């Protein structure tokens, strides 16, 4: 048994790294480890920060404060606050490993704490990390970094290119999904086809591309119902764009994670549109429910392409996306079961736990 302290800068819901941390706790606990989580609002121990709201990279349903808004002295104060939080958690929990999400301020603080550290790079921090390094901040310079798990080759390549991090420190390990929650549903029966988009409503997720695609699909009679799941600062603009679409577009808003299998299972195809997505957990979750998925051949999403389970399209070509959706709709119910089986074998908990145990063992030996 290993005692593992998981550290994340956001709560366990409302963000990709929060969902990852919650699932990581589930996987590690199921494999006999003792786990504690340190994060704002929903962790096992309190987190005190120098701001009324917790900052994030691109915003959160409960906090619009971003790191880009903070001045250098505020970032320094945040490092000290996280150092105090982590020191307190280490004293209480006595972990063998501290596993931090993102190569960012909590990692800088964790490296002072004493126990061996492992970090996961989720990708959203890379732009700010490279800017800090360019400004002369060397706290997270290559020589100070622990083993870094990269959620995709796209993320690893960006770290090498933009942050000059040595490849020997990087470990490619795509995210696992919650295979206790996301499973195939029974056949949905006869009804109109429904195409879905699941994401925070921010510009880089490209809901505008999805709505253009929806209009095309409706125009040629492929589908008439479209579902957008998620919330964010681009919601009002997205609703305005949807009024120009010939199909029926429903905005469901943010949905609790536990209800997402029901949402995915009610879709005939899930379409992901972001071209710079570090990984693409929603695509994996949907496919684990048997739902056909189409993704752009770009970023971490492009690495998920595996016909016939997850189909790709050219990222700037709505016609290519339309063709991928049509191809996905031609699959059978048996194809849905095969898709879920492929996802379970490739991104399931058992595979992930085995790889993570090896990473932890290596960190403890050095």
pLDDT in tens, 56-95: 998 888 888 999 999 989 999 999 999 999 999 999 999 9
Phi, psi of 121 (to 5 degrees): -95, 115
Helix axes 349-365 and 16-30, enclosed angle (nearest 10): 90
- pLDDT(7) > 80: yes
Cβ-proximal residues to 232 (8 Å cutoff; 6+ apart), any chain:
59, 61, 200, 201, 202
Q: Is 94 left (phi over 0), alpha (psi -120 to 50) or beta?
A: left
Phi, psi of 98 (to 5 degrees): -110, 120
Residues 70, 48: Cα–Cα separation, whole Å: 17
Q: How confident is the model at residue 46 (pLDDT cuts 50, 70, 90)?
A: confident
* Sign of the alpha-carbon dihedral angle for 17, 153, 348, 339: positive
CATH 3.40.190.80 for domain 3-176+348-364, yes or no, is: no
Question: Beta strands 310-313 and 293-296: pairing type?
Answer: parallel
Provide mean pLDDT across the span 157-164.
92
Provide mean pLDDT across the span 236-257.
93
Residues 308, 304: Cα–Cα separation, whole Å: 12
Structure-token pair, residue 8: 């994340």
Structure-token pair, residue 342: 């492929």
* Sign of the alpha-carbon dihedral angle for 312, 314, 318, 320: negative
More confident residue, 188 or 276: 276
pLDDT in tens, 317-334: 999 999 999 999 997 766
Residues 146, 100: Cα–Cα separation, whole Å: 10
Structure-token pair, residue 213: 């695609």
Helix (H) or strand (E) holding 110: helix 105-110
Longest dimension (CA), the chain: 63
Residues 107, 109: Cα–Cα separation, whole Å: 5
Residues 7, 21: Cα–Cα separation, whole Å: 8
Fold assignment, 194-346: Rossmann fold (3.40.50)
CATH 3.40.50.2000-classified regions of the chain: 3-176+348-364, 194-346
Burial readout 92-105 (b: 16 or more C-beta within 10 A, e: otherwise)? ebebbbbbbbbbbb
Helix (H) or strand (E) holding 7: strand 3-7
pTM for this one?
A: 0.92
CA angle 177, 183, 185 (to 5 degrees): 150
**Residue 1 pLDDT:** 84
Q: How confident is the model at residue 316 (pLDDT cuts 50, 70, 90)?
A: very high
Cβ-proximal residues to 259 (8 Å cutoff; 6+ apart), any chain:
none
Residues 140, 135: Cα–Cα separation, whole Å: 12
- pLDDT(21) > 70: yes
Count of residues in the chain: 366
Residues 239, 217: Cα–Cα separation, whole Å: 18
Question: Beta strands 117-121 and 34-38: pairing type?
Answer: unpaired
- pLDDT(130) > 90: no
Order across the sheet with 194-198: list the strands: 248-253, 225-229, 194-198, 269-271, 293-296, 310-313
Provide mean pLDDT across the span 185-213.
87
* Contact call for residues 272 and 290 (beta carbons, < 8 A): no
* Contact call for residues 116 and 98 (beta carbons, < 8 A): yes
Provide mean pLDDT across the span 27-44.
94
Phi, psi of 140 (to 5 degrees): -110, 40
**Residue 187 pLDDT:** 61
- pLDDT(111) > 60: yes
* Contact call for residues 279 and 151 (beta carbons, < 8 A): yes
């Amino acid at each position: 048994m290993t005692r593992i302290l998981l550290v994340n800068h956001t709560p366990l819901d409302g963000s990709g790294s929060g969902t990852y941390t919650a699932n990581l706790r589930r996987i590690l606990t199921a494999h006999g480890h003792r786990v504690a989580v340190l994060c704002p609002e929903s962790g096992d121990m309190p987190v005190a920060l120098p701001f009324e709201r917790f900052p994030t990279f691109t915003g959160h349903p409960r906090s619009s404060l971003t790191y880009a808004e903070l001045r250098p002295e505020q970032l320094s104060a945040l490092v000290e606050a996280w150092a105090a939080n982590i020191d307190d958690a280490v004293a209480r929990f006595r972990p063998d490993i501290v596993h931090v999400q993102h190569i960012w301020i909590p990692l800088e603080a964790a490296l002072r704490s004493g126990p061996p550290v492992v970090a996961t790079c989720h990708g959203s921090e890379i732009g700010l990390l490279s800017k800090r390094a360019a400004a002369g901040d060397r706290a997270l310079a290559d020589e100070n970094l622990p083993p870094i798990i990269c959620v995709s080759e796209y993320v690893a390549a960006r770290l090498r290119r933009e942050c000059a991090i040595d490849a020997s420190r990087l470990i490619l390990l795509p995210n696992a999904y919650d295979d206790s929650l996301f499973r195939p549903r029974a056949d949905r029966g006869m009804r109109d086809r429904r195409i879905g988009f699941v994401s925070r409503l921010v510009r880089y997720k490209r809901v505008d591309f999805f709505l253009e695609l929806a209009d095309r699909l409706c125009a040629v009679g492929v589908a008439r119902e479209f579902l957008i799941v998620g919330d964010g600062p681009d919601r009002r603009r997205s609703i305005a764009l949807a009024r120009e679409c010939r199909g029926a577009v429903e905005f469901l808003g943010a949905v609790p994670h536990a209800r997402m299998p029901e949402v995915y299972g009610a879709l005939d195809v899930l379409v992901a549109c972001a071209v710079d997505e570090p990984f693409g957990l929603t695509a994996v979750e949907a496919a684990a429910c048997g739902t056909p998925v189409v993704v752009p051949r770009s970023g971490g999403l492009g690495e998920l392409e595996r016909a016939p389970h997850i189909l790709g399209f050219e990222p700037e070509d709505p016609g290519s996306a339309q063709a991928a959706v049509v191809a996905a709709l031609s699959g059978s119910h048996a194809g849905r079961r095969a898709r879920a089986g492929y996802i379970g074998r490739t991104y399931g908990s058992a595979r992930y736990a085995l790889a993570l145990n090896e990473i932890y063992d290596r960190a403890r030996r050095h």
